[in-house]
Each structure stands twice: as structure tokens, then as C-alpha cells.
A and B are shown apart, each in its own frame.
Chain A
Amino acid sequence: MKSSKGRALAVAASAAIAALVFAGCAPAATDGTTVNCDDYSQYKGHEGTEVEIYTTIIDPEAALFKESLADFEKCTEITINWNGTQEFEAQIPVRVEGGTAPDLAIFPQPGLLAKFAGNGLVEASAEVAASVDANYSPDWKNYGTVDGKFYAAPLGANVKSFVWYSPKVFADNGYTVPTTWDELITLSDKIAADGKVQPWCVGFGSGEATGWVGTDWMEDIMLRTASPETYDAWVTHGIKFNDPAVAKAIAQAGSIIKNPKYVGDVKSIATTTFQAGGAGVVDGSCAMHRQASFLGGILKDDNGAVIVDPSDTTTENGISVFYFPGSSADNKPALGGGEFVGAFSDRPEVQAVQLYLTTPEWNNKKAKLGGWFSANKGLDEANVADPVNKVAVQILKNATTFRFDGSDVMPAAVGAGSFWKEMTAWVAEGKSDKAVLDAIEKSWPKK
């Protein structure tokens, strides 16, 4: 999974470089001439102070973050020291234990955050909590909350509940984007009956990480067939892995993935890479492919795909996304991830920066620079240029629930081990639902 994210980073990187070049030419607002410092009056009174932000976000993405904060720094005279490192996960415990904790830390996943709650992290100020209440859904606040205490505010977001498709192929054949699970199945049947393209391309192949695609399918469907509470219990082993609720989800996943009418040769899903599966949407050999947003960059670079708005039905090789439908029109869960900003110091300037990052003002400013979005309710879609990110923002806004990728939260022996392997065996060896779930349950660490 890491490698695919690296790929996405590279794409984001090139976009960011392009943005930088253009920003260099235009008389940007960051030179101070057009900034109205009145907007920042509530953060004033900490002139001459410094705040360190410790993070995994490095250049070229970091440059966009710095740019988005430049006006804030100019007006408040708080210097923000952006300290990005890929060693974040290894170094943050060292720094906290060594008494040199950063002021603010951007945690890439909630699991890591929880380790420092009450162990260095300070509770967010009332203003930050109020701003998060106003601008984010309770699910997002919950991920920054440990044992009832709210520590960290959400920052960026990513979304996985996408189906990639070609608007042109859909329009040419008279297919319409489904909005419920039943419509999705009806559409799949129709495409299969027409026989012009294969309804679905599924690829579990990802080198040593083969099978993770299957875990994403399971998580997305688990969110649709079970309650959010059951999903949480499943991820933390509150219910057994072979619980009837999980069995229901894998059966529903199997209704697409293990249906030869939809996917062709089921066994070969295990040897088809997820990139090759996605490529089928570009070359018109299959109609739909479920995958997270980063796939767009890969298909653009390797397969000549053009990322278009869902309304653009004329562009050749144009691909776009629609929301992986919920069980009914009212059931719209979203699977994804995001970062969280926690403070290790309660100095007022640190709280001021933490607060500013939760405001719609900053989120819009950052989104305008490109390649980025968040779950902030105040984020205006018009400021998100990329068509896929635009759909993602809509999904987050309409989401009835939001949950993190479950396999990333499960113990590594399952989340990066048996879950991958058994999902692969599920397609490659035709292993039964029950045998797969029993084997994963058995592999769950005993402690």
C-alpha cells in the first residue's frame, strides 16, 4: 500500500512543482501588498514567537503548506517552522521522551496519535474544539479524541470509496451512474448482457502487498452492510473476524468479485495488478474499477488517461469517478483517511496556529493551491480544481459516516498479513468465505 501512495505523492509532487512555477510568475498575494491583516486580528498578540510543526509532509507538498501560511505569519508575526521528515513515525517518540517535543505534530494516522494522549499531547483549547465542532463531522472529531478528551484537529483528507469509470463509455452505451447498491448490480447485469465490455476489472496484485485491494473492498462494504459501531468493533476485534456481520460483507463483496459474468476469470484477479485493472477503464475493456483517488495519477502517467469531470462525456480516454454506492440512497458512508494536528505545548501562539488550521479560511486558501482537500465543511468545491478531488469533497460532505481504512488499524499480523493473504486465496484458490474468515480469526494475535 505504501508504494502506491508513493506513486500518488510523485504525481502530487509534479502538480505542486507546476503550481510553484506559476506562482513564481504571478504577483502572488503572499508578497504582502494585497493582504488585509484585519482578517487575522483574532490571532494577534503573539508577535515575535515561533511555532514548530513536525510532520511527514515534505517538499514539494510542504512548499504549498508554507505558502498557505505565509499571510498568517506576516500579519501575526508568528514564525512557523515547518519541520518535515520521512522519519516522523520513528522520531516522534524519541523527541517526546527526550523532552524536546515539537509544538505541533501532524499525525498521519490516529493510532499513532493515541499513543501520546496523556503522554505529552495536551488537550486542544476550547476555541479549537469549538471550531472543529463547527467545521467537521463528529466522526472526524472522534478520530482526534482519546478516552473522551479531544486532542487533535483534522487537517487533510483522502477518500477511497470511488468507482473509476469512463463518462464517454457510459454515455455512448446509455449507462447511468448508479446511486444505490441495487442500481449498481442492475447496471453490472446490463453491461454483462450487452457484452461489449466486461462490467468490472478487479486486480488484487501489488507485489509483496498482494491482497490489500481485497481488504479495501471488504472495508467499504462492511461500512455499507453493518453499523459504524460494528465496523469499529470489527477493526478492534470487539467482534470475531468470522462474525455473521463480517460474513455478510464478504458475501456481498463476492457477489461482484467472484461473479465470472462481471469480472471474467476470477482466479486471475490475484495475478492482475490493481494498476492493470484500472487501465481497463482507460482502454475500454472494462466499465468499472473500485479504487482510491491516487489511481488517477498512475493512469494519467502510464495509460494516457485524462481525468475529466463526470459531466464530460466526449473526451477520449477521459476517466472520472462516482461514489461507490451505499445500500440505500440514505446510506452514504465514506472510507478514507486523513491527518491530525496535535499540540505538545499549550502556549497561546501554538493554540493560535492549531486554531487557524481548522478554519474554512485556511482550508480554502490551501485547496486553491491545488492537489489537496479536507473534510472541512466550509471548504468551497469551487476552490478544488481536480475533478476527482471535487467528487471526494462532495462525498465527504454527504457522508453519513466516515471511517478510516480498517486494515491500517488492525495489528500488522492481520492488517498487513493474513487479511491480505486470505483475500488473495479467496480469489486465487476459490477458498470459501467461511474458510477465509476462520483463517483470519485464527491469526489474530492472542494478546
Chain B
Amino acid sequence: MNSSFFALTKSPWDTIGPNLLQLVLGLIAFSAIVYICFLVASRASVKTQDWLKYLIFLVPASLLLLIGLVYPTIRTLIMAFMDSDSKEFVGVDNFVWAFTMPEILTVLKNTAIWVLLVPLLATGLGLAVAYMTDRMKRAAVVTSLIFMPMAISFVGAGVIWKFVYDYQPNKFKADIGLLSAITKAFGVTPPNWLLEAPLNTLLLIVVMIWIQTGFAMVVLGAAMKNVPDEVVEAAMLDGAKPWARFIRITLPMIRSTIVVVLTTTMIGTLKVFDIVRTMTGGNFSTSVIANEMYSQSFRAMDYGHGSALAIILFVGCLPIIAYNIRQLRLERTER
């Protein structure tokens, strides 16, 4: 018993000291390696210097990419064609499973709904707010309120909105759900929000839109600031109405930014996991690919099914990334 009291009187330096020493030693070792690299490089001929340059800068990065990205991708691809313990090859069984099980078909359908609705609505709303606040006084108040959810993690947002959607079945207890309170005020009996499909998926999508609108608004707002005033004024002189100015001038001038916002939101939505996991745990037909992939791999311990879903997700992302890269190349050639 007494020993634990002595332990309390230990100076904090007993733990900080050795750690600090390790840190200093580590820094010295690191500097020494860098110094040696430069020393070797400076002694080499010009031609070898070029090679060394590539080697020193590219090797560590490529090594990390190989270990952290290329290897796992290949391994996942192989595991997608193996059984649950990754012991035997089973051909395309896992993909047949993914595209025939009604449960997984719901997952794929949900993901499609997410990927369609979130980018369109978030970008649309963001665009509208950005345009409306573009030349507004005290726009900062409005924009910062809309941007704020961006600072909240998906899990945090999920917890907050879970309260909004709370449903109290027990008539002996008080209702704390905001949405239920609003519907009751209109004399409508609230449904069990997170239980009823497909309403629940739409309600989850609202959370993602709530977060992403701020991002779209800020990026698109910045792009609008770059639209030259002369062009807008010229259009006004020609008698263009505000709507026409928006459609004919602003939109075409910020087109590439809109594409970037749409595609990044789309990729983010494809990966959505936290919101679903926090709010419904993927139950009640609300699961999406990323969530199901996790459940299959680490809950049901079926690496075959999990990897197959990962590959489906990966393939789903590819066209969007390809389109994004093409778009960037086009812009470069235009300049």
C-alpha cells in the first residue's frame, strides 16, 4: 500500500527527463544523416549529383507510398477474391455476394443516393449563399454561421443531429427531439425519424449537407470575388437583369471551381462513414459502402466481403478522380 504513496511523490522529471534525452538524441541523429547526405552529394560529379538529387528526394516518398498505399491496395485486391480468412481463392464469389444480397444492394443504392444528393445540394446551396452574400453588408456574420459546422467533426455532428432527430416512444417520458417538437407544433404526430426508411437516409444526408455547404460557400465565394467588376458592369450597361448576370457571367466564370467543389464533395461523400456509424450504426437500411466494409471486415471478420466492398468503393472513385485530373490538365493548357 505504501509503495503507491511513494509513487505519487515521484518528480515529473523522472518521466520527462529520459524522453527529453531521447528527443535530443533523435534530433542529433537526424541532422547527422542529413549532413552526410549533403556531404556525399557535394563530393559527386555534376551528372551523378542530378541522380543523387532524384534519389534522395524520391526514394523516401516512394517507399512510404509503396508501403502505405500501393501494397495495401494490391493486398485488398487479392483478398477480395479470397474467402473470409484469406486462405483460399473463391473467384468472384464475393462480388456475386455484393451484387445479389438484398442487404448489400440496399447499401449500394444508399451510397448512390448520397453521392447524387450531397454534392448537388451542398454545392447548390453554397453557390446560392455565396452569390447572395457576395456584395452584402455584414456578410461575415451569415457566412461564418454557415461555415461553422465545417469545424465540427462528422462524429460530433452526428451526435448533435441525433438529438435533433430524437424520438420518445414512452408516453410517460418527456420528448427532447427538436424535429419532433416542430412537427408536434403543427399538430402532426412525428414518425420515428431514424427508423423509417427511406426518410432516415435523407435525414442523414441533411447532416452531411449541413457540414459541406460551408465549404462550398467559402470556395465559390472566393472564386466570385475574382470575377472582374468591369465585366459585370458592362453586362449591367447592356441591360442584363440580375438572374441573367448570374447565369451568363458569374456561373461560366467560376465553372472550374464549381467542378472542383462538386468532385471533392463527391469523393468525400463516397467515403462517408462516421455520420452513418454514429447515428444509426448502419441499421434500418441506412448503411453505406464504407460502413458496410468496416462491419464486414472487423465485426463479422469476413475479410473477403470487406475487401470486395473496398474494391467497389475504389472503382467508384476512379472516374471522378480521372475527370478531376483531366479538368486540371485542360486548365493548364488553356493558360
Contact = CB atoms under 8 A, between A and B. Distances in A.
Interface of A: 20, 23-24, 28, 30, 197-198, 201, 207-211, 264-265, 267-268, 270-272, 280, 283-286, 411-413, 416-418, 421, 424, 428-429, 445
Contact of A421 (B171, B194, B283): B283
B195 A270 contact: yes
B287 to A, nearest CB: 10
Nearest to A417: B300
Interface residues of B, number: 24
A208 B172 contact: no
B241 interface: no
B1 interface: yes
A210 B283 contact: yes
Interface in B271-294: 277-278, 281-284
Contacts of B295: 208, 417
A390 B278 CA distance: 36
Contacts, number: 75
Contact of A201 (B5, B170, B195): B170
A413 B195 contact: no
Given A208-B299, A211-B283, 12 more contacts: A198-B170, A198-B172, A208-B281, A210-B281, A210-B283, A285-B170, A411-B301, A416-B299, A417-B299, A418-B300, A424-B284, A429-B284
A283 B173 contact: yes
A197 B170 CA distance: 10
Given A197-B172, A280-B170, A286-B170, A265 B281 contact: no
Interface of B: 1, 4-5, 84, 167, 169-173, 192, 194-195, 277-278, 281-284, 295, 299-302
Contact of A271 (B167, B282, B302): B167
A270 B301 CA distance: 24
A268 B299 contact: no
Contacts of B192: 265, 267-268, 271
Nearest to B88: A447
25 contacts: A23-B1, A24-B1, A28-B1, A201-B170, A208-B295, A208-B299, A210-B281, A210-B283, A265-B169, A268-B192, A270-B283, A271-B167, A271-B192, A271-B195, A272-B169, A285-B172, A285-B173, A286-B170, A412-B300, A413-B300, A416-B299, A417-B295, A418-B300, A421-B283, A445-B84
Nearest to A28: B1
B200 to A, nearest CB: 10
A342 B183 CA distance: 60
A438 B295 CA distance: 21
Contacts of B284: 270-271, 424, 428-429
Nearest to B85: A447
A424 B283 contact: yes
A416 B300 contact: yes
